[in-house]
Chains A and B, each alone.
Chain A
Amino acid sequence: MTPLHPPAATTSRLSAFANKHRKYVLAGPATFFIACMLIIPLGFTVYLSMTGASGSVSRNADFIGLANYLEVLTSNDRFWPAVGRTFAFTAVVLAVEMLAGLGVALLLWRTFRGDSIIRVIILLPLVATPVAVGMMWMLIFHPTIGAANEILSWIGVSAQGWLSDPRQALPTLMFIDIWQWTPMVALILLAGLRSISDEPLEAAAVDGANSFQRLIHVILPTLAPTLITALLLRAIDALKTFDIIYATKGKGGGSYHEAETLNILAYSYSFDYQYYGKASAVLVLFLIIILAICAVLIIMRKGRKA
């Protein structure tokens, strides 16, 4: 006969063990989850990046050490331009989104008639799926039958290439990203603004500070942690942007790779060319870059707190 429950002795021994190592036992499930979902895939990626894996991962691949990294880091036609584009894209969209987001948040700070409707309208780009957004802008910016050139023609401006022009593709994509993500920044900053109490603002007003001085000396310093949080979130997201670029420019980021960021490049290497080793090397390098930026931003935030 097999007992349905473990005998009392086993239970108490188990609890004694668990009690003694409580911190490990309680942290166990989360640790296990992180190991499964994060460390193992990451470790495998690092391993792949040092092999010549191509075609199928399950085929035997030679261990080639850092050769992939060497090849990627000396690739002047694809890798370095992609690094440049990734940072240009991120810098521009971050700057505009933070400024515009702050502006929108300040406008929506004080309640007024119909503000809830405006808030909903502003949030619409955020809830649209990225591929649908990509398709929509692709039609609007179609050089021959799109609405954008139609509108330009009304005011006498000649037709532009937009996404199809190698020089305009990246700026157009920046515009789309700004259109889509400024609302999120505004939303975060608005929440931050709402938490500022009235007293310091009133005190500043009594002391004769005008609204610009209040913004610079009271609002912004109080809002700083929220600003840095929004900046961090958007920076990570913008660096990793994939969906709208893939949806509008396809694999390889255009005929001249003019919109190819690091993520798009890694996609080309892995899914299109099936050079898994090389793709993993690009991704590991990309991860190092993102970690470095996060470290800088977190140190900045800590510095402010101290």
Chain B
Amino acid sequence: MKLKNTMTAVAALALLLPVAACSPSAPKDGAESQTLNVALPTHAWTNAIKESIPEFEKASGIKVALTTFGEDQLSDQYNVKLNTKSKDFDVMMFRPPQDGKLFVQNGWLAPVDDYLKKADAGYKWDDFLPATVDSVTVDGSVYGAPLITEQEVLYYNKKLLAEANVKVPTTMEELEAAAAKLTDRDKGQFGFLSRGQLSASVTQFSSFLYSFGADFDNGKKATLDTPEAKKAYEFYGRMLNQYAPPGTTEMNWIQAMPIFAQGKVAFYTDVSSLSPNLDDPSTSTVVNDWGVAPFPAGPAGSHPYNISAWALGINAFSESKDAAWKFMEWATGPDMSLKLQQKGQSLARASLYSSAEGTKGFRDDMIAAIKTSTAPGVAVGHDRPLVVKVSEAREIIGKPIVTGIDGGDVAGAIEEAQTKYQQFLDEETKA
């Protein structure tokens, strides 16, 4: 009986244990060396900077703990963790066009204005490309340092063009004529390819939209049904319907790029930062055959997007904001930027494109295409609508594209998208 009593007492104590385990742990000892948690996507930039991190640790005395996730998984992580005000990340790499406004509205990003004011003159904040600074600025406050810039360019297959004696097109009309000439379905050869998946297509379609003289909206009013926008929708849908491989309505770059890399497509419009994939002999058969040209001109000229695809920011809930800024200042400073640019990254500092040192890691035709695209008055600073709920807006805007690719009623789809997008904008401005 005695033993039984003791056992029940132990059981009663065990009941209390989980409660003790749930209670917050003791505050950290301030004397121990500081650890900075940095969340990054699996991206070429991440791989390039990894090697240099020990230098930062040595110079600053701050220990850096890297966590990397796939692109979509990273935003899911932010979603889950920041919703619980987690301090797990101090420095966060984020996508200003997709996440910027939303994260700021949610109170997840800390403004860095004060740090910029105090920053060393050698940091040269004014060297960052203006379009990229805009992309990390929300309501007058800066929320991060732009990293990777991306422009839409025209990739082409030199071999296929030479065989058919076709010149690299500089206008949309020439592009369509060349694509028509180079499409031979029986041979499994196609003239044109771009993203066609509902949401993914919107960013690559944007440059076509701007080059036809249109935009998604004017801030308050949806402008998807202007005559210019209608022509852009019809053109993009027709190009993918008639000259592209089957199945484009399900293609993001992950599905589309390999088809170009296998030498089956003559022209492929996508983002400049994809080019390292084409140079990898293990996945690409066009290593020596691909070329790149500036985005072709539409009725309103050539207006590709030029965006800051990724930026570094500070978690608003972080307790190590000063250390986080130190890391950002180092990772996006002039020295490190030059070093990473030479490893093939296309970074957001203007000076990198005007010096021979900065362009060392690039092919001549790529640097020419980037320079043409980023010239003042050419590039547009967004590749998707400037709204908070970007994902939802993209699915509305992408509908007429998909309809066009499948040869459906584009005019009807545009009308529907215009109505839905206007409703969406009304709700956003109301909130």
Contacts and interface: CB of A to CB of B under 8 A. Distances in A.
A15 B247 contact: no
A127 B395 CA distance: 36
B41 interface: no
B9 A15 contact: yes
A271 B72 CA distance: 10
A11 B5 CA distance: 9
Interface stretch (A20-28, A194-202, A203-211, A235-243): A20-28
Interface stretch (A213-221, A222-230, A246-254): A246-254
A143 B15 CA distance: 58
Interface string B381-400: 00000001101100100100
B426 to A, nearest CB: 16
B389 A273 contact: yes
Contacts of A161: 246-247
A2 B154 CA distance: 79
Interface stretch (A67-75, A86-94, A100-108, A163-171): A163-171
A76 interface: no
Contact of B402 (A22, A33, A256): A256
B277 interface: no
B416 to A, nearest CB: 11
Contact of A56 (B5, B15, B106, B246): B106
Given A144-B247, A164-B247, A252 B395 contact: yes
Contact of A165 (B15, B75, B247): B247
Contacts of A116: none
A45 interface: no
Nearest to A149: B246
Interface string B72-113: 100110010011110000000000000000100111100000
A132 interface: no
A159 interface: yes
A24 B396 CA distance: 55
A14 B246 contact: no
A144 B259 CA distance: 7
A145 interface: yes
Interface stretch (B115-123, B248-256, B334-342): B248-256
User: A-side binding surface: helix, strand, loop or mixed?
Assistant: helix
B250 A163 contact: yes
B250 A15 contact: no
Nearest to A142: B255
Contacts, number: 117
Contacts of B376: none
Given A255-B402, A274-B389, A55 B11 contact: no
Contacts of A17: 12
B245 interface: yes
Contact of B197 (A22, A55, A255): A255
A28 B398 CA distance: 54
Nearest to A270: B79
* Among B84, B198, B251: residue with most chain A CB under 10 A: B198
Nearest to B392: A273
Given A58-B85, A145-B264, A255-B402, A274 B105 contact: no
Contacts of A143: 245-247
Interface in B236-266: 245-247, 249-252, 255, 258-259, 262, 264
A57 interface: yes
Contact of A57 (B12, B83, B102, B402): B83
Contacts of B72: 251
Interface residues of A, number: 44
A55 B12 contact: no
A14 B247 CA distance: 71
* Among B8, B245, B262: residue with most chain A CB under 10 A: B8
Contacts of B183: none
B140 interface: no
Interface string B285-316: 00000000000000000000000000000000
Interface string B221-246: 00000000000000000000000011
A165 B196 CA distance: 13
Contact of B12 (A25, A271, A274): A25
B4 interface: yes
B429 interface: no
Nearest to B252: A250
A255 B255 CA distance: 14
Contacts of B398: 255
B18 interface: yes
Contacts of B82: 56
Given A145-B258, A255-B249, A15 B188 contact: no
A166 B196 CA distance: 13
A12 interface: yes
B199 A252 contact: yes
Contacts of A271: 75-76, 79
Interface in B320-361: none
Given A25-B8, A36-B18, 17 more contacts: A11-B9, A15-B12, A19-B5, A29-B14, A55-B102, A55-B388, A56-B83, A56-B105, A58-B84, A58-B85, A143-B246, A143-B247, A164-B251, A166-B249, A251-B72, A252-B198, A255-B402
Interface of B: 4-6, 8-9, 11-12, 14-15, 18, 72, 75-76, 79, 82-85, 102, 105-108, 188, 196-199, 245-247, 249-252, 255, 258-259, 262, 264, 388-389, 391-392, 395, 398, 402
Ranked nearest first, the 8 interchain pairs of A and B with the lowest CB-CB distance are: A164-B247, A56-B106, A255-B198, A18-B8, A15-B5, A164-B250, A143-B247, A18-B12
